Structure 1
Amino acid sequence: MEDATPSRTALRVARLRAVHQSSPQAGLFRDPYAIAILGDAAPAAQDIEQEDEHSRRMRLFVAARARLAEDWLSAAVRRGVRQLVVLGAGLDTFSLRNPHPDLAVFEVDHPATQAWKRRLIADAGLAEPRGATFVPVNFERQRLSEELSSAGLKPTEASFFMWLGVVPYLTKEAIFGTLSYIAGTPGSEVVFDYSEPAENRDVPGQAALAFYAARVASVGEPWISFFDPDALATSLNDLGFDEVEDLESSAIAARFSSAPNAGRSNSGGHLLRARRNA
């Protein structure tokens, strides 16, 4: 992504969330702001009828990862966590829907994408969410810890980090630098998605990877980081995370009876939750 250009993949993900609201599986993830925030770029209700298999699978994965992340966040809030950091927030609307009155939300994103989102919120006639702080950060050039502290995050208190649809676009140096920072505070937790490399996949999985990788590369935002699940788990343990839950896409589908066909085969996509216990 160019420095002055909002993320085009963020727009694609937002459109998938919006289309999902008109789908037969809408109950999996309800988002009353998904369509409003897109303005003129919002899909029509009938767009669900034109969905191909690749789009359906990606839509269901996007919806399921958001649902799981927010379910895990709710569990963290019940444990007493009162700080949420949304890394690479894109057009995510959680801060507008936040059901936890005492939860402070810090939205972190590339400056261009974040400025674009704030314009879309205003254009939709919505007020910027109370209890939310926007923190513009370039992950490859700025220190996340410094920017969050300056924005008011309490670094000695546990935080929950949602990092969805971002990790594949970053260098491993930036990824592990961020994970090390999160692991530095006992009680903190992170949820992120990642993809396995081609050599880990069967033939259908390799074909799926080639399709999606070509699509994001075509808009100038290529996937550059892939992980082997066992090696990643070891790295997370070495960083200090002592509770790791890693769900492959077929396991995610199995959690939701309302979406029985969501990624039934192994696509190589994962959603991972890691926590450093106090």
Structure 2
Amino acid sequence: MIFHDPLAIRLLGDEADAVLACADAPGEQGFRQFMAVRSRIAEDKLALAVRHGVRQAVVLGAGLDTLGLRNPYAAEGLKMFEVDTPRMQVWKKRHIAEVGISVPDLLTFIPVDFEKESVKTGLVQAGFDLHRPAFFSWLGVTPYLTRKSIQNTLSFIASIPQAELVFDYGEPVENYQGLGRLFMEALERRVALLGEPWVSRFNAPEMATMLAEAGFRTVTDFDRARIFSYFGWPQKSGVGQASAHVIHAAV
């Protein structure tokens, strides 16, 4: 098992069966596996950060992420902050109440529109300490934001002492080949029809430059080959091809 989330099915509620059926459809399994991979890497890095004394963590663009609700480090006093759009947070809080999941005392919801409002301001108003180390998780978000918004967020995170960040990004669709290209083109059309088109995708050198300019000193880019190595999976054909990436960056 790559990743275990005891609240995921409960959070889906009545929609669980339909969502799982779609996730098992042809072509979707690899995408589902990547979502598990990125969460596993993020929570592995969070565990190390907590071990080193970090006591505040931020989930940016949380969506249906359950990390704040699960908080594996509540006993250590880890404060969790969830940042997302006001509309999403209203829906999520109502939904978790409907399915009977309680909100931990150490979790704070912060409504912020990344394109229009300051993440920094929202966090400070909610009690986040700018002068203490922090861990940031930012999964499944950057493709939907402008490059300016991404750069601003990266620069803010890099201003936090001993900050660590795990996030993911996608390569340009034209980098893909064969069936992978067809799947990515279909997925691109689908998210656009849902009103959430992909806005920003990056080649690895572009992302490395953006992170360096923001102020991150240590960066590990988990491409397909590095992900296989991280989990001890045997390398197979296609490992060198285009893929989604997971970044672990630290200042």
1:8-29 CA distance string (max 9 Å, x none): xxxxxxxxxxxxxxxxxxx211
Q: Does residue 1:84 correspond to 2:57, yes or no?
A: yes
1:54-89 CA distance string (max 9 Å, x none): 210111000111011000111111111111110000
Q: In structure 2, what residue type is equivalent to 1:58?
A: F
Contact 1:194-1:227 at 8 Å conserved across structures: yes
Partner of 2:41: 68
**1:196 maps to which of 160, 171, 174:** 171
- What's the RMSD between the two structures over aligned residues? 2.2
Bigger CA drift: 232-241 or 217-226? 232-241
Partner of 1:36: 10
Q: Does residue 1:184 correspond to 2:159, yes or no?
A: yes
Could you tell me which runs of 5 or more consecutive residues in structure 1 were left unpaired when the two chains were aligned.
1-26
Map 1:2-17 onto structure 2 (within 5 A). none
Name the CA shift for 1:218/1:46 in 2 (closer, same or farther; >3 Å): closer
TM-score, scaled relative to structure 1: 0.83
Give identity over the alignment, percent. 44
Name the CA shift for 1:96/1:116 in 2 (closer, same or farther; >3 Å): same
TM-score, scaled relative to structure 2: 0.91
1:241-267 CA distance string (max 9 Å, x none): 110000113432343357988x85634
**1:238 maps to which of 193, 205, 213:** 213
Contact 2:188-2:197 at 8 Å conserved across structures: yes
Q: Does residue 1:166 correspond to 2:136, yes or no?
A: no
Q: CA deviation at 1:227?
A: 0.9
Whole-angstrom CA distance in 1 between matches of 2:113 and 2:19: 35
Partner of 1:94: 67
Tell me the SS of whatever aligns to 1:74: helix
1:95-119 CA distance string (max 9 Å, x none): 1211112110000001111111111
Bigger CA drift: 97-106 or 171-180? 97-106
Tell me the SS of whatever aligns to 1:53: coil
Contact 2:175-2:242 at 8 Å conserved across structures: no
Whole-angstrom CA distance in 2 between matches of 1:86 and 1:51: 27
Q: CA deviation at 1:218?
A: 1.6
Q: CA deviation at 1:274?
A: 0.8
Q: In structure 2, what residue type is equivalent to 1:119?
A: R
Map 1:86-235 onto structure 2 (within 5 A). 86-101=59-74, 102-235=77-210
Name the CA shift for 1:217/1:250 in 2 (closer, same or farther; >3 Å): farther
Q: Does residue 1:55 correspond to 2:28, yes or no?
A: yes
Whole-angstrom CA distance in 1 between matches of 2:115 and 2:4: 33
Name the CA shift for 1:259/1:216 in 2 (closer, same or farther; >3 Å): farther
Tell me the SS of whatever aligns to 1:35: helix
**1:268 maps to which of 235, 243, 246:** 243
Runs of 4+ in structure 1 deviating by more than 6 angstroms, as ranges, are: 258-261
Contact 2:142-2:169 at 8 Å conserved across structures: yes
Q: Does residue 1:253 correspond to 2:232, yes or no?
A: no
Q: CA deviation at 1:205?
A: 4.2
